[in-house]
Structure 1
Amino acid sequence: MIPLEDNTDDIIGKARRGLGYAPEVLAKQAGLTKPQARALETGEFTEEVLRKVAPVLRLGADALVRGSRKEWYPEQPGPIGGFLAFNTTYEDMTVNAYLVWDQESRKAVVFDTGADCAPILAAVKEHKLAVELVLLTHAHVDHVVDLPKLLAATKAKAWINSRDADEEDFPKGVETFSAGQSFVLGKIRIETRLTNGHSAGQTTFVVRGLERLIAIVGDSLFAGSMGGGKISYADQLRTNRQEILTLPDDAVLAPGHGPLTTVAQEKANNPFFTGN
């Protein structure tokens, strides 16, 4: 079972930094006592403290409390024909990559590379697939680190949103696209949606043609959390709401870190989207 990417301290930290609150300002705005403020800074959360800070940080209090008690984990969708997920270790974290294919033509697309693309290549061989595309959610190193090996092995063409061109880890030898462009592999149609904020060109890929609608969301959104708004916290919240959470409730969300989830589960359990 892949752990949730963020704990309560991560969520509070992302919201606090995104809204520009210094710790002492947050404590004052939330009306915390000095002991409560010290507990908040050390991660010793109580329900009372969480319910005080949640509205200031525009987080859903009930979801925040459930998460702090580890009472929620997303129900997993089970096997989906033509879809595989890979979780590999990169430094002190794990990162996801995904493989999608048309079961008639055997044409395939890889989303991000993971820290090591060897498991992807093994699956491609096992299922007798022809990888034609590599689509990158964004240009952060943990998502593109094994791209040269993946491209050398598959001879596929890699694509990334042109808005990420200024990222330090922007990979060489890739084609660029603008959000709204579509890709087609047999019966698989892939729609691109700009879900920026974590990076300027962070893109969600909406995959249609499998037995379930799947959105490869990269670091836009995690099960029970979201990627930090490194470029714009406000944009990350806005684009997640407009471009991801408007998908059908049963759509499977495939994040760049942590477990799979669904739109319905995030609307009910993600503190960033159950508050005001």
Structure 2
Amino acid sequence: MICNLIFRRFTVGSYPINGYLVADPETRVGVFIDPGGFSDEIEAFIRERQILLQYLFFTHGHWDHTEGMQEFSRRYPVKSYAGEGEVHSANNMLQGSEIIEVGSLQFKALSTPGHTLHGMSYYIPGGVFTGDALFCGSVGGTNSSKAAQCQTEHIRKHIFTLPDETLVFPAHGPMTTVGIEKYTNPFCRNTLVF
């Protein structure tokens, strides 16, 4: 389970998604994952908890996940991370397997393409932020059967190999766990290979 974190989910953007703020309680350094919009509520939480927001992580480059980037960048000295070519104005392009330090927290970038060409998920012990790759009981849409197969293969390889109790924080809908999705998600369960 995730513990000893400053953590909050926000509903953000004109086409609402789940955006997540995670910060190290010791250094107060924080990251916003999927900045699809900005709000007074986010600003108040950052100020109230004295968070030093220094990072933006994008799971992929669709506009509903990037719409708030300009406002976050205007207000805070942030470095941004995304899969190769997903968000052209991101400072850092990821291939997968990179470790990104946020204060004393370590996030691992996990390659989860399919919904988009270079989608990423971000893992921290106890939780994984999957964007539109994996939802509770579903997966993000793809534009071909080949992309759908790629997506489920990467979910099985990078998400379903995490501990079953790992919390899954998707960009749409409720949170779930790796174990629940591994054994019940109808889009993935018929082809489980570990």
TM-score (norm 1): 0.64
Contact 1:144 1:171 in 2 (8 A): no
Q: CA deviation at 1:274?
A: 2.6
Which residue of structure 1 aligns with residue 121 of structure 2? 204
Distance 2:55 2:152 in 1: 29
Q: Which residue number corresponds to residue 104 of structure 2?
A: 187
Judged with a 3 Å threshold, the aligned counterparts in structure 2 of structure 1 residues 117 and 143 are, in CA distance, closer, same or farther, namely: farther
For residue 218 of structure 1, report the CA deviation from its aligned partner: 0.7
Equivalent-residue separation in structure 2 for 1:244 and 1:252 (angstroms): 11
Q: Please give the secondary structure, in 1, of the residue aligned with 2:114.
A: coil
Q: Which amino acid aligns with 2:143?
A: K
Counterpart among 218, 234, 250 of residue 131 in structure 2: 218
Q: Which residue of 2 aligns with 1:103?
A: 25
Task: Say if 1:80 and 1:118 are closer, same or farther in 2 by CA, change over 3 A.
Answer: farther
Compared CA separation, residues 144 and 117, structure 1 to 2 (3 A): farther
Match of 1:240 in 2: 155
Q: Is the deviation greater in 106-115 or in 189-198?
A: 106-115
> Structure 1 residue 186: deviation in Å?
2.6
Give, in whole Å, the separation in 1 of the partners of 2:72 and 2:53: 10
Residue identity opposite 1:214 in structure 2:
G
Q: How does 1:17-56 map to 2 (within 5 A)?
A: none
Q: Which residue of 2 aligns with 1:274?
A: 189
CA contact 1:97–1:111 (8 Å) conserved in 2: yes
Name the structure 2 match of 1:133.
55
Map of 2:141 onto structure 1 = 228
User: Is structure 2 residue 74 aligned with structure 1 residue 156?
Assistant: no
> Residues 118-139 of structure 1, C-alpha deviation per residue, up to 9 Å, x if partnerless?
4322211111000111111110
Say which SS state the counterpart of residue 113 (structure 2) adopts: coil
Identity level (%): 28
Higher RCO by CA contacts (8 Å cutoff, separation 6 or greater)? 1
Shift of 1:117: 4.3
What is the rounded CA distance, in whole Å, between the counterparts of 2:50 and 2:27 in structure 1?
10
SS at match of 2:46: helix
Larger radius of gyration: 1
**Structure 1 pair 162/89, CA: closer, same or farther in 2 (3 Å)?**
closer
CA contact (8 A) 1:117 1:149 kept: no
Q: Which amino acid aligns with 2:56?
A: V
In the alignment, which residue of structure 2 is the partner of 1:259? 174
Q: CA separation in 1, counterparts of 2:13 and 2:81?
A: 23
- Give the 3 Å change call, closer, same or farther, for CA 216–178 of structure 1 in structure 2: same
More helix by share: 1
1:141/1:183 CA distance change after superposition, 3 Å: same
RMSD between superposed Cα atoms in Å? 2.0
Distance 1:149 1:222 in 2: 27
Which of 48, 72, 83 lines up with 2:7 in the alignment?
83
Aligned 8 A contact 1:138 1:201 in 2:
yes
Alpha-carbon distance in 1 for matches of 2:123, 2:2: 19
Quickly say closer, same or farther: Cα 1:273–1:145, change in 2 above 3 A: same
Q: So what's the TM-score if we normalise by structure 2?
A: 0.89
Check whether the contact 1:117–1:146 (CA below 8 A) recurs between aligned residues.
no
Is the partner of 2:152 in helix, strand or coil?
helix
> Cα 1:107–1:196, aligned 2, differ >3 Å: closer, same or farther?
same
Q: How far apart, CA to CA, are the structure 1 residues paired with 2:90 and 2:66?
A: 12
